Amino acid sequence: MLAWRSSSLTLTPKEAEYMKPHSLPVFPNWFPYNDMLLDGHLKVDEWAGVKTRGWKWDYRGPVLFYNSGRTADAAVNSYKYANSPYQHKVIIGVGELADVRTLTKKEAERMVCNFNNMPLEKVRRILKKEGFSRDQFEDGLYQFYLFGPYVAPLEVGFFFKNLKRFSKPVTFNWPPGPVKPIYTKITTGSELQAELKRLGF
């Protein structure tokens, strides 16, 4: 509750902390990888979804998902996504990053299946056809993009839980520079804050 002092509106320390703008990381990706994550196509074991990268990150907690201006055609074709300008340069959802580590062989196989919307048996047939023996399959998983219009995982898994899609995308101006996560302030009264509050974040 707000406290009145000296005829002016004063916030208690707890209220001031709540009203202060907070920052959350924004995780960029080409369309439709974040959509695939939020739509349940990138599940692995008990995890709601997994993204892969070639680098590790110490952060754990809520992450915003941003669709960049670029499109991954092979991924679009895998799940028959309809591409449009409205699906780019927007934040489309949020989730909790719970773990970051190197994928196991089993997880890498699952991610190849997830990315390409194909059964494991077909993945293994393709690798065998390309000359990979059983003990070389792991190398083949990370080179899977070479064997056709496919998608291959990177070696580091970002493991998410509690994934939630926004009711509508929130426009976001990504600054020029690297495509690793950046932080943005969640300001009081903003469209971004409203979506996060609706989803319980």
Considering the chain, what percentage of its residues have pLDDT values greater than 70?
89
Q: How far apart are CA 133 and CA 148, in angstroms?
A: 19
How many alpha carbons lie under 13 Å from residue 164 in its C-beta half-sphere?
16
Contacts of 10 (CB under 8 A, 6+ apart): 2, 3, 4
pLDDT of residue 4: 34
Residue-level pLDDT at 22: 86
Tell whether the model's pLDDT for residue 1 goes beyond 60.
no
Mean pLDDT of all residues in 72-93: 96
Average pLDDT, the chain: 91
* Mean pLDDT score, 68-73: 95
Which of the four CATH numbers 3.40.30.10, 2.60.40.10, 1.10.1370.40, 2.30.130.30 does domain 25-195 have?
2.30.130.30
Residue 55, pLDDT above cutoff 60: yes
- Sign (positive/negative) of CA torsion 91, 93, 94, 100? negative
Considering only CA atoms, give the Rg of the chain.
20
Looking at the chain, the whole-number percentage of residues with pLDDT higher than 90 is: 85
Confidence of residue 5 (pLDDT cuts 50, 70, 90): very low
Q: What is the mean pLDDT of residues 173-199?
A: 91
Q: How confident is the model at residue 18 (pLDDT cuts 50, 70, 90)?
A: very low
Sign of CA dihedral 181, 187, 190, 192: positive
**Mean pLDDT throughout 128-140?**
92
pLDDT for residue 56 is more than 90: yes
**Other CB atoms closer than 10 Å to residue 59's CB: what's the count?**
13
Predicted pLDDT of residue 8: 45
Cis previous bond, 119, omega within 30: no
Shortest CA distance to 154 belongs to which of 145, 146, 142, 166? 142
Is the distance from CB of 199 to CB of 168 less than 8 angstroms?
Answer: no
